[in-house]
Amino acid sequence: MVTKNQTKLIISLHQKKYRNKHSLFIAEGIKVIQELINSKLQLHEIYCTNKTVFEEARVDFQLISEKELKKISALTTPNNALALFKIPEPQKIDTNGLILVLDDIRDPGNLGTIIRLCDWFGIKDLVCSNETVDCYNTKVVQATMGSLARVNITYTDISDFIKNSDLPSYAATMNGTNVYKSSLPSPGILVMGNESNGVSEKVQEIIDHQITIPRFGDLKKTESLNVATATAIMLSEFSKNFE
């Protein structure tokens, strides 16, 4: 049975300010939780509706009812298990590879997908503007499918970060140089912008190069690509220079 205090704590973690206060975040679903258990993240508590699910993982868990899980879950359809993990301290940014920078990404699904892309392409560091959605938002955690534990994520003033870096910087914009005809570096900085407004003018002013994914076909009427889709294409191109 989930106590009142446990319920209160878990429900509070649906909000960023309480995640920061308690240094805890929620992960839901067996696959996501197992991925995080196998990582370096510190497990705080597991609640599940099936006692056989985590027996092989050799971790302590609390058996609860489906009704109790639904009460504490942030999902419309809870997925058998919910766990709390400690939020890790950000590590020092590694400047020896490509650093992906996000300028005001607001959609949790987009951020989660981008974190998975970083994991896929071996991007160790993801630097987010302070306005970007919290990476420990429950929907973001779900969308990462465990990749959250394998990418170092730092929130900071990205303008200051870019200005203070000696690395060449690139921003994905609508009017830049064709990415397929560009010489792309590694290490370097790649900036992806907000879903509606793209990379901010403030950031564009301090970027070394602007690059774009050209439209093909006869009509060329599509206004823009989803930021996660665009990030996948950009990382694929930059990865050609990875060692």
What per-residue string of b and e applies to 89-128 under the rule 16 or more CB within 10 Å gives b? eeeebeeebbbbbbbbbebbebbbbbbbbbbebebbbbbb
What would the two tokens of residue 205 be?
A: 């002013």
Contact 103, 52 (CB under 8 A): no
The answer to whether residue 43 is domain-embedded is yes
Whether 63 and 102 share a structural domain: no
- Residue whose pair of structure tokens reads 């205090």 in the numeric block: 5
Instruction: Find all residues with CB under 8 Å of 105, minimum gap 6, and list them.
Output: 111, 114, 128, 132, 133, 192, 194, 195, 227
Q: Is 58 found in the same domain as 160?
A: no
Residues 23 and 112 reside in one and the same domain: no
Q: Is the pLDDT of residue 220 over 80?
A: no
Indicate whether 91 belongs to any domain: no
Q: Domain holding 45: CATH number?
A: 3.30.1330.30
What is the reported pLDDT for 40? Answer: 81
Is residue 119 domain-shared with residue 223, that is, in the same domain? yes
Among 29, 60, 86, which residue terminates a domain? Answer: 86
Q: What mean pLDDT, rounded, does the chain reach?
A: 91
Task: List for the chain the helix, strand, coil content (%; round to 5).
Answer: 35, 25, 40
The Cα–Cα gap between 163 and 157 comes to: 10
SS3 171: strand
What mean pLDDT is predicted for residues 176-190? 89
Per-residue confidence (pLDDT) for residue 218, from 0 to 100: 64
Same domain, 50 and 135: no
- Of 38, 66, 86, the position where a domain reaches its end is 86
Share of the chain above pLDDT 70, in %: 95
Whether 181 has a pLDDT exceeding 60, the answer reads yes
Same domain, 70 and 130: no
pLDDT of residue 221: 63
Domain count, the chain: 2
Is residue 198, in this structure, part of any structural domain at all?
yes
| Residue 136 clears pLDDT 90, i.e. is over it | yes
Same domain, 106 and 67: no
CA distance 99 to 2: 42
Residues 56 and 117 in one domain: no
User: CA-based angle 22:28:30, to the nearest 5?
Assistant: 130
Q: What is the pLDDT of residue 82?
A: 95
Q: Is the pLDDT at 42 greater than 60, yes or no?
A: yes
Provide the β-strand partners of residue 104: none
DSSP one-letter string for 28-44: ESHHHHHHHHTSSPPEE
Do 65 and 130 belong together in one domain?
no
Residue 165 confidence (pLDDT) above 90: yes
Same domain for 232 and 145: yes
pLDDT at 216: 85
Which of 37, 52, 86 is the last residue in one of the domains? Answer: 86
Examine the domain organization and report whether 116 and 71 are in the same domain. no
CA distance 137 to 213: 30
Average pLDDT over residues 106-119: 97
DSSP letters spanning 173-238:
EEEEEEGGGS---SSEEEEEEBTTTBS-HHHHTT-SEEEE----SS--------HHHHHHHHHHHH
Q: Is residue 92 part of a domain?
A: no
User: Cβ atoms within 10 A of the Cβ of 206, count?
Assistant: 14
Paired strand residues for 129: 156
Is residue 143 assigned to a domain? yes
Entry pTM: 0.92
Q: What is the CATH number of the domain that holds 190?
A: 3.40.1280.10
Expressed as residue numbers, the domain containing 107 is: 98-241
